[in-house]
Structure formats: structure tokens, C-alpha cells
């Protein structure tokens, strides 16, 4: 890891990961309710990534190459042995944590 002048210059090419102590982070979020940790794959799918890909595939037509690229990017973000296992912590304040859209499938 090394500092980058523009971390958004090369999306998907720079490693921007850091180790996070979620227990301390949740404890420091005074006044917020912490939802259970979920994987990035679970959060992205619950936020509509699958539906977005289905919609994109229906519109792909002449731009099938772009759709294939988008689909591969989504697969990389959701790979269970890769980026898909990154954990996501959702915090809520003034609203029930069950209302967080990304947790609905996880919380039932």
C-alpha cells in the first residue's frame, strides 16, 4: 500500500482496502444503531445489482461488449473468495435498522 494522489483515478485498478475494526467503529458511532455485518456481495445484491444487470442485458443489443464488461466487473465485486467477502457495516440513526434496504434479505 502506498498513498495515491487521486484514489479515484483508476477505479478497479488501485487497492484501496484497509483493515477496519468494526467493533470499535460501531462503538464510536454513538447514537447510531449498528446492523449486523454483511458481505459486500450481499449488500450489492440487496441494493439491486442483480436487477441492474438484468435490465442492462435487455438493453445491451449493439453494446454487448459493454454489458459483458459490466457483468465481469459485478462478478469481481461479488466473488466470494475475493472482493465479495469484504464486510459492510450499515449504521442507522432515527430509523429502524431493519429499514436499511441493503439488509432486508439478511434480516428476513
Bridge partners (DSSP) of residue 87 are: 39
At 102, is the pLDDT very low, low, confident or very high (cuts 50, 70, 90)? low
Residue 74 CB-half CA count within 13 A: 20
Inter-CA distances, 103 with 44, 59, 81, 108, Å: 10, 28, 21, 8
Task: Specify the pTM.
Answer: 0.69
At 60, is the pLDDT very low, low, confident or very high (cuts 50, 70, 90)? low
pLDDT for position 99: 61
Average pLDDT score over residue span 94-102: 68
Whether 63 contacts 70, CB under 8 Å: no
Averaged confidence pLDDT in the chain: 81
Amino acid at each position: 500500500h502506498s498513498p495515491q494522489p487521486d484514489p479515484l483515478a483508476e477505479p478497479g485498478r488501485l487497492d484501496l482496502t484497509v483493515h477496519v475494526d468494526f467493533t470499535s467503529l460501531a462503538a464510536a458511532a454513538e447514537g447510531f444503531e449498528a446492523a449486523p455485518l454483511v458481505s459486500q456481495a450481499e449488500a450489492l445484491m440487496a441494493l439491486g445489482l442483480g436487477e441492474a444487470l438484468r435490465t442492462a442485458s435487455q438493453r445491451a443489443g449493439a453494446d454487448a461488449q459493454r454489458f459483458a464488461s459490466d457483468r465481469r466487473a459485478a462478478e469481481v465485486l461479488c466473488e466470494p473468495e475475493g472482493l465479495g467477502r469484504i464486510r459492510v457495516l450499515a449504521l442507522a440513526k432515527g430509523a429502524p435498522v431493519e429499514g436499511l434496504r441493503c439488509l432486508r434479505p439478511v434480516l428476513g
